[in-house]
Chains A and B, each alone.
Chain A
Amino acid sequence: MKRTTTVIIGAGQSGLAMSYELTARGVDHLILERGKIANSWRTERWDSLRLLTPNWMNGLSGADYRGQDHDGYMSVSDLIERLDRYADAISAPVVDETTVLGVTRAGVGFLVWTDQMLIECESVVVATGAASKASRPRFAGALPGGIADFTPLDYKRPGDLPPGNVLVVGASASGTQIARELQESGRQVTLAVGEHVRVPRSYRDADVLTWMEITGRWSTRYDEVDDLARQRRVPSFQLAGLAGDNPLDLNALQEIGIELVGRMAALQDGQAIFSGALNNACTAADLKLDRLLNGFDDWVRESGMEPLMAPSYRLPRTRIPKAPRLSIDLKREGFGAVIWATGYRPDHRWINLPVFDRKGNIQHDGGVVAAGLYVMGLPFLRRRKSTFIDGASEDASELAMHLENYLRRKQAA
């Protein structure tokens, strides 16, 4: 049996940021990684994906972005390379190819069971990410035979899909990006659209995420917002890592020939059934977009920047098809594949401790789960940006401080 003070599970941006903080505090630790560093980035992303955050926001703890392309969006392979180099630079104690099978209590500490060894430790940091599993609707199992289905975790490129039309279910960042790529590859795509968050890629001379940052929204803390549970469920922005007008806007997607339908509600006898509420989903997104842009405009006015910035404008309303289809007989209409882009969820089933709510979600207060147990990288964990690369540093710094205090109190007791 091995012994260490802290076990970090997962060597992605969150786990590495925590390792940096623990090393700085002289806390002995190991990082367990089921594959190689940045494993989910390596194995569970599609080929063309680029980060949604501009490069200047992709700094890691103690390692700001130093490249030339501050406003660009890095490819996933660039990110993997950066994380590899970063792990080297901070001498992160990564134990790779080691899968955690269970975490249990042992006195006031923990036992971490893996397929390689058993480790005893005083504290555990769970940094396996928010997207370990793709969520599929309950009815996904009723898909007729002969139609392939994918999720954004196993979809790689258009050529992997069998011939035929494609139904993409879900219109947040993943669904809209994949829908666009498939339509441009020559497929006919139907996109099922539920509640979504429409934003322009850039507005009045700046990237929308830059606006989120400078107006304080990006760094808004979890203990500052009303109804945190709802905030943690807000779908991802309809954004791609591409400069210019947002090509994922539902108007832009319709212009390249994508058909819009409402939220997918059921699969019955080979018929995909869609909600008749598309109009409200789009109207609500337009209204929220205007509120967001009003907030940016207020900041410009209050900071006296008005004369220096491009003028304020509003985007055209989302064009809603007059009579979107309510059902599609998938086989008869020549559909070859369905992509379930209906969200992600973490996979914490190997934590054998009573720390879950009735829906199986880990309960935590800003990442603090229980004495000595921490979680990172979940939506709005401590800040709105917690799931983004630049969210990991600040979260790691604060949680490491909490962890250090916990160890000190424990030693004193």
Chain B
Amino acid sequence: MNIQTEVKIADNGVNVEALLGAREALSEAPAAAQFTWRAACEWQNGVHSRSTVEGFFGLGEEHKHREAFAIDADHPAEFAAEDNGPTPVEIVLSGLASCLTAGVASVAQNRGIQLRSVRAFVEGDMDLFGILGIDADVRNGFSAIRVRFEIDADASHEDIAAVVAQSQKRSAVFDIITNPTNVHVTVA
């Protein structure tokens, strides 16, 4: 039994009211909910490339981030490269962790759960026989991905587990990784 008398107000810095307002507004205007995200990538040298993320489309019009963000990708010395940035697969893992973590903060806020700290540790297993073309039965991508959360919050273990489950249910990157997507690559 909860003996606190005041209503618990969590502040995880997520503007849940705005998100719920957007949900309601967009359900009435499905066309505005159609977004297109973009990244542009330019080869630097060797296996080093730099992606820039700036514009995106949504709510019926073009938008820009506050500034253009650059993300370098490269490969470590073990791959005979200069290690100017994380590998693309590590960027994918960080994308998964960021998406799930954002979900944890939002869901916790919505459920009135105050977070003190959230850490996610992500590992992806890969057999290089795939990308090196040694064994056609081995896939290029991860054979398994594991995410371990360490969360300190004003809630029971079960409630925290429920927040993490819900964040997976609503995560874009989790869906992108666990389900197939048709990808069309063309050459201009």
Contacts and interface: CB of A to CB of B under 8 A. Distances in A.
Interface of A: 195, 262, 265-266, 268, 273, 275-277, 280, 283-284, 287, 290-291, 323, 358
B26 to A, nearest CB: 13
A276 B177 contact: yes
Interface string B145-168: 100000000000010011001101
B180 A277 contact: no
Contact of A276 (B158, B161, B169, B178): B178
Majority secondary structure of chain B interface residues (helix, strand, loop or mixed): helix
Contacts of A358: 30
B33 to A, nearest CB: 12
Nearest to A195: B169
A283 B161 contact: yes
Nearest to A358: B30
A283 B163 CA distance: 11
Interface of B: 30, 144-145, 158, 161-162, 165-166, 168-169, 174-175, 177-180
Dominant SS at the A interface? mixed
Contact of B169 (A273, A280, A323): A280
The residue in A262, A268, A284, A290 that gathers the most chain B C-beta atoms within 10 A of its C-beta is A284
Given A280-B169, A284-B165, A323-B144, A266 B180 contact: yes
B97 to A, nearest CB: 15
Contacts of A283: 161, 165
A195 B166 CA distance: 11
B169 A284 contact: yes
A296 to B, nearest CB: 16
A261 to B, nearest CB: 12
Given A268-B180, A276-B178, A284-B166, 10 more contacts: A265-B179, A266-B180, A273-B180, A277-B168, A277-B175, A277-B179, A284-B165, A287-B161, A291-B158, A358-B30
A280 B169 CA distance: 8
Nearest to A263: B179
Contacts of B161: 283, 287
B58 to A, nearest CB: 19
B174 A277 contact: yes
Contact of A262 (B145, B162, B166, B178): B178
Contacts of B145: 276
A74 B108 CA distance: 44
Contacts of A290: 158
B134 to A, nearest CB: 21
B178 A287 contact: no
A275 B144 contact: no
Contacts of B144: 323
Across chains A and B, which 7 residue pairs bring their CB atoms closest together, nearest first?
Answer: A276-B178, A284-B165, A277-B178, A280-B168, A265-B179, A275-B178, A287-B162
Interface centre among A273, A277, A290, A358 (most CB of B within 10 A): A277
Contacts of B168: 277, 280
A277 B168 CA distance: 9
Nearest to A229: B27
Contacts of A276: 145, 177-179
Contacts of B174: 277, 280
Contacts of A195: 169
Given A277-B174, A280-B165, A287 B179 contact: no
5 contacts: A265-B180, A266-B180, A280-B165, A283-B161, A284-B165
Nearest to A279: B168
A266 B183 CA distance: 14
Contacts of A268: 180
Nearest to B166: A284
A312 to B, nearest CB: 15
